[in-house]
Amino acid sequence: MLPVLSIGPLTLPVPGLLVIAGVALGTWLAEKWAPRVGLPAKWVSDVLFYSLLAGVVGARLFMVLRTPAAFAAAPLSIFSLNPALLDPLGGVLTAVAIAVWLAARRGVSWLRLADAAVPFLAVMQITWALRVAANGEMFGLPTRLPWGVNLWGAVRHPTQLYWAVGAVALLAWVHAQLNRAAARTTPPPAGWLFWPFVALSAAWFVFVAGFRGDSPVSPGGWRLDQVSGLVVLMGAAVAWRRLQEPAKQDDLTASSAP
């Protein structure tokens, strides 16, 4: 756990730095690998930039809409730099909406753009896992395993590190898939990278969540983080499976590069 890093008189918030590093590295990697998905590097980089910007603005607007009384009492807070005043779901919805709109404007399938965004998502997954580790969140159940970590009064499963290790392995898998795609003569169908990536990420999250000591639990004893991961996994798996059908293999026109 390392929420802040003190360098002389400077105190730097480690979780925030990790997110910024993830955005920078993820955007760079997505731009570098975009040609392997059949999209122009500069365009992918621009779409990511504008979507992220819109995501931040959308996250604040959703927060204002959700809690209007608080902002009516302190209107200047709308411009506050506090990340805690951002609504994560609102931010993601806005960023995705803007990305889909930009793709449609250029005549690119949103799934093809999603394939190009996978390196960005894979890097963000790693930095997010490290971010929760720095905050001491998503801590594990007590364990006697030799790699247990002492946190919050007990030796616990290092669930954040389990998550991070899986996310690193997924990034390596993404790299291998993109190398294979670059060697192919015909482009794979749109979503060929995105759906398996989402399915594998969700499956790993479901696995790791089983060791968490802070899961929200439903009355029936189901861990809600596992259940939500399972829903995402099943949705992505269905989409992934549909890509295997012969008709989809030939359907390259709608998803071809501009």
Residues that bind another protein (CB under 8 A): 3-4, 6, 11, 13, 63, 67, 69-71, 73-74, 76-78, 80, 82, 84-85, 136-137, 139, 141, 152-154, 196, 199-200, 202-203, 206-207, 209-210, 213-215, 217, 220-223, 226-227, 229-230, 233-234, 237, 240-241, 244
Least Å distance, CB 33 to another protein, is 23
Q: Check residue 185 and report its DSSP letter.
A: S
Contacts of 19 (CB under 8 A, 6+ apart): 127, 128, 131
The residue among 84 and 183 lying less far from another protein, judged by its C-beta, is 84
Instruction: In angstroms, give the least distance from the CB of 24 to another protein.
Output: 21
Using the structure block, give the residue that is written with the tokens 């899986």.
Answer: 166
Q: For residues 2 and 8, is the Cβ–Cβ distance under 8 A?
A: no
Tokens of residue 92, six digits: 């993601």
**Residue 53 or 78: which CB sits closer to another protein?**
78
Exposed e or buried b per residue across 16-50, where buried means at least 16 C-beta atoms within 10 angstroms of its C-beta: eebbeebbebbbebbbebbebbbbbeebbbebbee
Indicate the SS3 state at residue 12: strand
In the chain, which ranges are continuous DSSP H helix? 14-37, 41-66, 68-73, 88-106, 110-135, 159-183, 194-209, 224-243, 246-250
Query: In this structure, what token pair is assigned to residue 130?
Result: 């490290």
- Minimal distance, residue 77 CB to another protein, in Å: 3
CB of 230 to another protein, least distance (A): 5
- CB 25 to another protein: min, Å: 24
Residue 168 or 239: the one with the smaller Cβ distance to another protein is 239
- Between 227 and 257, name the residue whose CB sits nearer to another protein: 227
**Rounded distance, CA 93 to CA 109, Å?**
18
Q: Between 11 and 179, whose beta carbon lies closer to another protein?
A: 11
Q: Report the nearest approach of another protein to the CB of residue 99 (Å).
A: 25
Considering beta carbons, is residue 86 or 129 the nearer one to another protein? 86
Query: Rg of the chain's alpha carbons, rounded to an integer?
Result: 20
